[in-house]
Amino acid sequence: MISRLRGTLLSRSEMGIEVATSGGVVYEVDVPLSVAERLPHVGDEIELRTAQVVREDLIALYGFLDAGERRLFQTLIGVSGVGAKLALAMLSVFPAPRLARALIEKDVGALVQVPGVGRKTAERLFLELADRVQDLDVGGEVTPVGVPRGAHDAVQALVSLGMSFQDADRAVRRTLEDDSGLEMADLVRKALAL
């Protein structure tokens, strides 16, 4: 099992990255987009926490910048019907703390934003993971925040206005931090002002 990888970042693409170790071995590593955007420049030193997935037809290495992301990935692939590609897609759409919070809050609207996750898959994830994810230390705040009733509708309204789901979700949550008693229309208006 390869649990960490330290070396020089040789290349990065949509398909993953290549890391050359000091021993001359080059590893191809798949990383979620939430990790890829935080990687150093090509030619810089890098250390990744890795998860090795072995199947009949494939041996793949998945890389993360911290242990919490790796733990969440490993927890996700432990769910029936969730493979490494789907878990990687979930961590590409959401950073680990936000994904964990969506699972704990049973936020169907958030999870269906991930390609390949429909309502039934989201409900299965909630059923199997809500309690286990709450015990994980994925970094950041993951405890449920008691989202007001109109928050999900406000996020959907912002998305229909052309905002990405992630930006809309972030804006609504920031607005709720300042004033949690807003009605949906006021919430949308203040979130747009952000």
Taking the domains of the chain in order of start, what are their residue ranges? 4-64, 67-134, 151-193
Q: 94-103, 112-121, 160-169: which range is least confident on average?
A: 160-169
Mean pLDDT of 12-39: 91
Give the 3-state secondary structure of residue 94: coil
Collect all residues with Cβ–Cβ distance below 8 Å to 145 and sequence separation of at least 6.
101, 105, 173, 176
CA angle 20/25/27 to nearest 5° reads 65
Return the pLDDT at 109.
Answer: 84
Which position has the token pair 């709450």? 134
At 25 the three-state DSSP class reads coil
Is the pLDDT confidence value at 8 over 90? yes
pLDDT confidence bin for 29, thresholds 50/70/90: very high
130-182 pLDDT per residue, tens:
778 876 666 655 444 445 556 767 777 777 788 877 787 778 778 877 776 77
CA gap 129, 16 in Å, rounded: 27
Q: What pLDDT shows up at residue 144? A: 43
Provide the pLDDT for residue 147: 52
Domain 67-134 sits in CATH at 1.10.150.20
State the average pLDDT over residues 32-47: 92
Average pLDDT over residues 69-96: 90
| Mean predicted lDDT score pLDDT of the chain | 84
Backbone φ and ψ for 76, nearest 5 degrees, come out as: -60, -45
DSSP label of 47:
E
- % the chain with pLDDT above 70: 91
Calculate what percentage of the chain has a pLDDT beyond 90: 33
| Residue in 38, 42, 51, 32 with CA at minimum distance from that of residue 8 | 42
- DSSP class of residue 40 equals -
Contact 33, 62 (CB under 8 A): no
Q: Does domain 4-64 have CATH number 2.40.50.140?
A: yes
Nearest to 93 by CA among 79, 72, 75, 78: 72
> Taking residues 50-76, what's their average pLDDT?
92
**Averaged pLDDT, 11-33:** 92
Note the CATH number of domain 151-193. 1.10.8
* Stated pTM of the model: 0.74
pLDDT score recorded for residue 186: 79
More confident residue, 104 or 26: 26
Q: Does position 41 have pLDDT exceeding 90, yes or no?
A: yes
Count Cα neighbours of 38 within 13 Å in the Cβ-side half-sphere: 13
Instruction: Using CB atoms within 10 Å of the CB of residue 75, give its burial: 0 to 12 exposed, 13 to 18 middle, 19+ buried.
Output: buried
What was the pLDDT predicted at 4? 94
